[in-house]
Amino acid sequence: MSSEVKRTAGGALLLDGMQLRDETVAKIKATITAAGNPKICLATVLIGDDPPSHIYVANKHKKAQEAGMVSKGLQLPADATQAQVEKAVSELVADKSVHGILVQLPLPKHINTEAVLALLPVEKDVDGLTERSLGRLVRDLPGHVPCTPLGVVRILQRYNIETVGKRVVVIGRSALVGLPQMLLLVRRGADATVTVAHKSTKDMIEVCREADIIIAAAGAARMVTAAHVKPGATVIDVGVTRINNKIVGDVDFDAVQAIAGAITPMPGGTGPMTIACLLENTLEAARMQGAI
């Protein structure tokens, strides 16, 4: 690893997602420059006034532009109808200059999310969230992988954390993170033995203590304590909870870093890599559509 290795106060390897994101953005920019600077376009659809969503989307546009991409933002009011949302997405689908489309979730409660996502063709679904994209992941066919689970894999790869033959516990079973994370880690190449734990899992501490790698994606603030972690294990924090306007992860970082062999910070770990992998997917989307 060429860049400086960072460690926590307790000596654990700090898995720096911001550093890796910046490396990824630089690589994508170099690839686009080498290809003659084709106009690779990422479009986002944002509905309503949810402040965190606005921050997330702004960060995505900023990093896309840093990577040498064109970014296009479409914003609709919170009271937009199903027909208006579907029309907006359909127009982006038909626009040949747009290579990747991200519909920022969650959508307002009156909008049928599945109907909106179903409009996205596989090649433009850079969030990897449609049933066709997830089906391709299950079948190990070409397509886009959900950005957060892919970001976790990139962190493990970047810091040379072995998965072959290792025991991994993924806490959380959402279609957004937990289930695709399991699929990525059990397929050939990663070859891990994966347990998916959730709120009905009995003896959660004992289950986690058997893991070489814990990936916490339950959205439950500081649920993973020192008691859950065997000495030297790798701990990846995906969960995000806002408490008093501060972001808190699923891992009790201060306690766990003294025991873990490697750990992601929160913020600054998996979040930046989610954006990096969105751009990685957008570059691949452009390739799939013959733009690069």
pLDDT in tens, 16-45: 999 999 999 999 999 999 999 999 999 999
d(CA 154, CA 193): 18
Is residue 277 assigned to a domain? no
117 and 151 part of one domain: no
Instruction: Give residue 31's pLDDT.
Output: 98
Reduce the DSSP state of residue 197 to 3 states and report it.
strand
Instruction: Give residue 3's pLDDT.
Output: 62
Instruction: Give residue 233's pLDDT.
Output: 98
Burial class (CB in 10 A: 0-12, 13-18, 19+), 200: exposed
Q: For 228-262, what is each residue's pLDDT tens digit?
A: 999 999 999 999 998 988 899 999 999 999 999 99
First to last CA, the chain: 29
41 and 103 part of one domain: yes
Burial class (CB in 10 A: 0-12, 13-18, 19+), 108: middle
Question: Considering 121, 139, 160, which residue would you say is the last residue of a domain?
Answer: 121
249 and 175 part of one domain: yes
Which residues span the domain enclosing 93?
A: 36-121
Residue-by-residue DSSP string for 86-117: HHHHHHHHH-TT--EEEEPSSPPTTS-HHHHH
Is residue 50 assigned to a domain? yes
Distant-in-sequence, close-in-space partners of 136: CB < 8 Å, separation ≥ 6: 122, 142, 143
Is residue 5 assigned to a domain? no
Instruction: Give residue 198's pLDDT.
Output: 97
Instruction: Give residue 52's pLDDT.
Output: 84
109 and 155 part of one domain: no
CATH of the domain at 168: 3.40.50.720
Cα atoms found within 13 Å of the Cα of residue 71, Cβ hemisphere only: 18
Instruction: Give residue 1's pLDDT.
Output: 45
Tell me the backbone φ, ψ of residue 232, rounded to 5 degrees: 90, -5
Is residue 141 assigned to a domain? no
pTM: 0.95
Instruction: Give residue 127's pLDDT.
Output: 96
161 and 252 part of one domain: yes
211 and 97 part of one domain: no
CATH of the domain at 79: 3.40.50.10860
Instruction: Give residue 251's pLDDT.
Output: 98
Is residue 201 assigned to a domain? yes
Number of structural domains, the chain?
Answer: 2
Low pLDDT (below 50) residues in the chain: 1
Annotated catalytic residues are 60, 104, 127
Is residue 6 assigned to a domain? no
